[in-house]
Amino acid sequence: MKRLSSFISILLIIVTIFFLHTFPTAFAKHHKDGGHRVQEHVIKVESLSQPQPVGEPQPVVPPQPVTEPQPVAEPQPVTDSQPAVQALPQPALPSENTFEIHIINHASAGADTVNVTCNPGPPPGTPPPPTPPLGPPVPPYLLKVEEAFSWTFEYPDPSADISYSCVIDWTGHNQGLVTLFDKDSYTDAECRGDNGNHCYWAIAQDGFYFSNKDGPFPGPNWTFRWPWGL
């Protein structure tokens, strides 16, 4: 019994010595490993909590000026697609004292001609008028069969004295001296018509015919006036 107790005591001493020999190393190792893990954990935490690097500062963009709103164009009225028709200037209407004299050759036949020489004023051989004759001069004409010519004149003053007389020479046949217009005689009134003031004179084989309308000759519009003769 005493030996057993001694043996147990010795065993306990051995165990105690072994334990004391190994425990500080394990404890130190454990402490070392645990401290490393804690330190590593702290480093990781600190690395996560470190501020991120700041990039280059971006240039400051100046604010754009505020533009004023543009006025809205008013809608244009819709027009017809057809082009505008411009009014043509109307010819001036002749005055009431504008006349046109027409002479038509119905006398000659074949190669016969009629020479017509007209001048403003009274017929040749009559007393000259107190004032110079009014009206434009008329050049002489040579009329073949069925040919005609005309001229226009105007007297704005109703008191004016104007007339036209003509020497008509039917070559180789007859001659005539006629007054084709005289304001102070019947021709002024007879030449006035609805379509203007026209004096038509037809030269025929038996003399001279008058009308204020153009039409076929002979016909109802024509009136015999004078025979041939000077």
The string of pLDDT tens digits covering residues 162-202 is 889 999 999 878 899 988 888 877 677 888 887 889 999 99
Q: Which pLDDT value is given to residue 204?
A: 93
Nearest to 222, CA basis, from 207, 212, 214, 211: 211
Query: What is residue 6's predicted lDDT score, i.e. its pLDDT?
Result: 72
Determine which of 116-130, 131-145, 202-216 has the lowest per-residue pLDDT on average.
116-130
Tell whether the model's pLDDT for residue 36 goes beyond 60. Answer: no
Structure tokens at 106: 């119905």
What confidence tens digit (pLDDT) does each residue in 43-79 have?
A: 333 333 444 555 566 666 666 766 676 777 676 665 5
State residue 223's pLDDT score: 95
Residue 107 has pLDDT above 80, yes or no: yes
Q: Where are the beta strands (DSSP E) in the chain?
A: 98-105, 114-120, 141-143, 148-154, 163-170, 174-182, 192-193, 196-204, 207-211, 223-226
> How far is Cα 162 from Cα 151, in angstroms, rounded to an integer?
14
Question: How does strand 114-120 pair with strand 141-143?
Answer: antiparallel
The CA distance from 60 to 65, in Å, is 15
Question: In terms of pTM, does the model score above 0.85?
Answer: no
